[in-house]
Structure 1
Amino acid sequence: MGGVVSAPKAPPPQMVLVPPLFDFPPLAARNRMLEPSYNLLFGKLALRSLFEDYFDAANHFSSILMLKPIDDRHVDLIATVSGPLDNKPDETIVGNALFRWKSDADDPHTFTDLYVSSSDPILLMRACAYYPRFGLGAFGIFPVLKKERVSAEDYGTMGLRYGTPNLSVGATFVPYTLGDDFPKSAWLVTKMGRLTAGVKYDPQFEKKDGAKYKNLKNWNGSIGYGLGSGSPLSPSFNFGLEYAQNSQFIASFFQHVVVQRKVNNPFEENEVIGITNYIDFGFELLTRMDDKKGTNNIQDSTFNIAASWQANKNILLKGKVGPLSSALSFSFKSWWKPSFSFSVSAIRDRAIGKTSFGFGLRVDNVREASYQRADPNFVMLTPSKAHLAEGIQWKSGKRPMMQSDVNSGNFDGVPRELRPLGKLL
């Protein structure tokens, strides 16, 4: 009897690795329901992360510990310790800790937390509740222990907000305070397609014609144009113009780029031919426009340019340039549970012509890795001639998902950490 000849196995499809982002969502997004939407839109949240994260202060160290229990996803703890590298008499080591409880582990909008610090305020309580069915939310910030209470604001601040996918309106106020000190701030932001426009009332300056709202310095206005879904898996672009305090003009843009490059790693499998990289660019220009004669110094007009490149799941390179200083940052991350990351920053001060260094250490299991570098259940296939499977672009668990789904805004099959920050302003 003749032997049975089995058909040759088809080679596995060629893959492009999709590494997890270093930090997504950014830590600042955890508190977005506690402050006006005006402060976070128009690319401000992305620019803040680009210009600040992993840039440690010159001659300083910082450490962040972000942990949550394995058996209880409703609570987490973030502790920070920072201070000078040398023993300066006017600087001390500062420690902070934030304990947060959420009624729904998957709802970032409703929570209560306690903040303790070695500086003032010593104990701070914050609470936020949001009801998406009605679009209504309320929040409060109350200093429980404070060394000195000078103003009414030292006793607490409360706020109300209303949010939909195309509108955000709200106000903050100090209890028992009326008159010109009410409200403490207010905002209105609306979205029309790719355009976002907003106005913010922030009465920091004196009265004019008997009322603070008549002083144009207490009003800020912005308009922005944005492309993209807000998920780091998709490219995005945001351009914004802001006129602030009747004296400052601010222009900014932020761009998130998703690119692919070849893999030259002998430890990878043969079917792995490429890897996805994430590149961010940011620019911010501030120009004074008041009636006072300019002195042509750096305070009248300033700018900042920054860029970051995540080469793989372990390495992040960042750099920024400004008129007073420039900085470079190198970060390495190990994706254990919890994950560990170490960063070193080199800061060049042009005023004194000196280069200084800063160091940072972070431990994190609050923001879990959304997928692993070699996980076959979440791979990206590039539609090129080298690929055998041209239709399917993504796989998440057992449910295949098309690239067109991501482009159309359907993120049901995407890990929660990689979805856009929210469907509301």
Structure 2
Amino acid sequence: MGNWLNKEPPPPMVLVPPLFDYPPLAARTRMLESSYNLLFGKLALKCLFDDYFDEARNFSTVIMLKPIDDPHVDLVATVSGPLDHKPDDKIVGNALFRWQSDIDDPHTFVDLYVSNSDPVLQMRSCAYYPKYGFGAFGIFPLLRKKRLSSEDFGLMGLRYGSRNLSAGVTLTPFSSKDELPKSAWLVSKIGRLTTGVQYEPQYGIKDGASLQNLMNWSCAIGYDVGSGSPLSPSFNFGLELAKNSQFIASFYQHVVVQRRVKNPLEENEIVGITNYIDFGFELQSQIRVDDVKAANNIPDSTFQIAASWQANKNFLLKGKVGPLSSSLAMAFKSWWKPSFTFSISAVRDRTVGRTAYGFGIRVENLREASYQRADPNFVMLTPSKEHLAEGIVWKIGKRPMLQSDINAGNFDGIPKELRPLNKIL
């Protein structure tokens, strides 16, 4: 009886919700892409500017499922089209079936893509050997309605990747045109500084002067701070000169904050919750404007700003602003198995003074919902994502501080969905 009366109160806990979409789906196929196109904050900015901003007066449905008996395979199917469907409008549907050799390593896989548009049937394959850093990949359109460019006949590539260096080349061996290589890149990271160059021949191919033509070259430099884990703040600033004709400046920041919980539905020991705030800015300026571009009314410069706030595991708010339009998106997610996400976006076109709406529905069980931490500051107690808050200091008027070894870069004891994506540059 005495032990029951002197029972200690439960320790304070902080809610650590999982991110809506982490790791991003584009990271699963990054071995098929040039590292130049994914680094310098480009992948994070693409997710910030595009995800859940459904096209105006359109709907989108995404289903991402994998069987319980065989986690090595999964299926991603999408259906999209206009809300006010007319007989002449086309509903676009496609599906992607993927086989992955190692469920913890997404870099070796084979997938098949089918669609009612072009390409009708396409196969992609990638094999990467982390021990040696070498990999090979291929994209093969098996059925196409039209074969106009060299990529329509297939693409193959070789790459090398380590923590501080990435190099690769892509070829079009099945094309009748002499366009070898199709592209090449070299990216290096020294400390917090990342530099890269990419070659994509488009000019001077016929006369053999493509290497000397600066319009075929792009270069970028970036400065980044942070580990890349969603529980660690990060900062990225990049400058790019694309094809000697476009200057791009970008900025992206991921902020992890913790606020008090003032929800009467929560238990008394729940003292706070972790929020995720993302902010991004991108400025594009044309440095070469000829008569053709002026005739097409292409602006000399443009910009876009976006921000997102995840208040808890179920609610996400995003907004972006550009010179011609503004967009606002809200997403609601239920972490069932599979999870369901409903999103609504509003697009304000200032040129015509009209607001249009888009809708999206997503069903998924590809990514894990819970964050199980071995760190003593975040010890999972129940499946509801409740964790010990011993590392949190709550004082009125002061910002709470998280004391964790993630600041030291120790990610060995946490699950793969929380680890940084930059193990391979």
Instruction: Tell me the TM-score normalized by structure 1.
Output: 0.91
Cα distance change, pair 131–300 in 1 and its aligned pair in 2 (3 A): same
Query: Aligned residue for 2:329?
Result: 329
Query: Aligned residue for 1:31?
Result: 29
Q: Do the aligned partners of 1:370 and 1:418 also contact (CA within 8 Å) in 2?
A: no
Quick one: distance in 1 between partners of 2:149 and 2:258?
A: 54
Query: Aligned residue for 1:278?
Result: 276
Displacement after TM superposition at 1:245 (Å): 1.2
AA in 1 matched with 2:210: K
Quick one: distance in 2 between partners of 1:333 and 1:380?
A: 25
AA in 2 matched with 1:408: A
Query: Aligned residue for 2:81?
Result: 83
Displacement after TM superposition at 1:404 (Å): 3.9
AA in 2 matched with 1:142: F
Q: Say which is worse superposed, 164-173 or 409-418, in terms of deviation.
A: 409-418
AA in 2 matched with 1:30: R
Quick one: distance in 2 between partners of 1:165 and 1:95?
A: 38
1:42 to 27, 40, 53: 40
Quick one: distance in 1 between partners of 2:29 and 2:62?
A: 17
Q: Do the aligned partners of 2:13 and 2:386 also contact (CA within 8 Å) in 1?
A: no
Quick one: distance in 2 between partners of 1:407 and 1:178?
A: 52
Displacement after TM superposition at 1:30 (Å): 1.4
Quick one: distance in 1 between partners of 2:3 and 2:87?
A: 82
Displacement after TM superposition at 1:12 (Å): 2.0
Matches within 5 A, 1:131-210: 131-176=129-174, 181-207=179-205, 210=208
Query: Aligned residue for 2:14?
Result: 16
Quick one: distance in 2 between partners of 1:187 and 1:137?
A: 14
Matches within 5 A, 1:287-298: 287-290=285-288, 292=290
Matches within 5 A, 1:108-119: 108-119=106-117
Matches within 5 A, 1:25-424: 25-88=23-86, 91-176=89-174, 181-207=179-205, 210-290=208-288, 292=290, 299-371=299-371, 375=384, 378-384=387-393, 403-424=403-424
Q: Say which is worse superposed, 49-58 or 373-382, in terms of deviation.
A: 373-382
Cα distance change, pair 221–178 in 1 and its aligned pair in 2 (3 A): farther
Cα distance change, pair 415–40 in 1 and its aligned pair in 2 (3 A): same
Quick one: distance in 1 between partners of 2:335 and 2:239?
A: 38
AA in 1 matched with 2:113: Y
The SS at the match of 1:420 is coil
Summarize deviations over 1:184-233 as a string: whole Å, max 9, x none: 00000000000000000011233497411111111000000001111101
Displacement after TM superposition at 1:260 (Å): 1.0
Summarize deviations over 1:221-253 as a string: whole Å, max 9, x none: 000000111110100000000001111110001
Runs of 4+ in 1 over 6 A off after TM superposition: 3-7, 293-298
Quick one: distance in 1 between partners of 2:218 and 2:322?
A: 24
AA in 2 matched with 1:131: Y
AA in 2 matched with 1:367: R
Summarize deviations over 1:49-91 as a string: whole Å, max 9, x none: 0000000000000000000001111000000000001124553
Cα distance change, pair 198–4 in 1 and its aligned pair in 2 (3 A): closer
The SS at the match of 2:81 is strand
Quick one: distance in 2 between partners of 1:4 and 1:80?
A: 61
Q: Do the aligned partners of 2:13 and 2:387 also contact (CA within 8 Å) in 1?
A: no
AA in 1 matched with 2:339: S
Q: Do the aligned partners of 2:154 and 2:174 also contact (CA within 8 Å) in 1?
A: no
Quick one: distance in 2 between partners of 1:257 and 1:385?
A: 19
Quick one: distance in 2 between partners of 1:13 and 1:241?
A: 47
Query: Aligned residue for 2:376?
Result: none
Instruction: Tell me the TM-score normalized by structure 2.
Output: 0.91
Q: Do the aligned partners of 2:279 and 2:308 also contact (CA within 8 Å) in 1?
A: yes
Query: Aligned residue for 2:377?
Result: none
AA in 1 matched with 2:307: A
AA in 2 matched with 1:313: K
Displacement after TM superposition at 1:383 (Å): 3.0
RMSD between aligned residues: 2.4
Quick one: distance in 2 between partners of 1:59 and 1:344?
A: 11
Q: Do the aligned partners of 2:303 and 2:322 also contact (CA within 8 Å) in 1?
A: yes
Quick one: distance in 2 between partners of 1:376 and 1:305?
A: 32
Q: Do the aligned partners of 2:153 and 2:174 also contact (CA within 8 Å) in 1?
A: no
Summarize deviations over 1:371-420 as a string: whole Å, max 9, x none: 38864774444432669xxxx97xxxxxxxxx442111111221211111
Q: Do the aligned partners of 1:15 and 1:271 also contact (CA within 8 Å) in 2?
A: yes
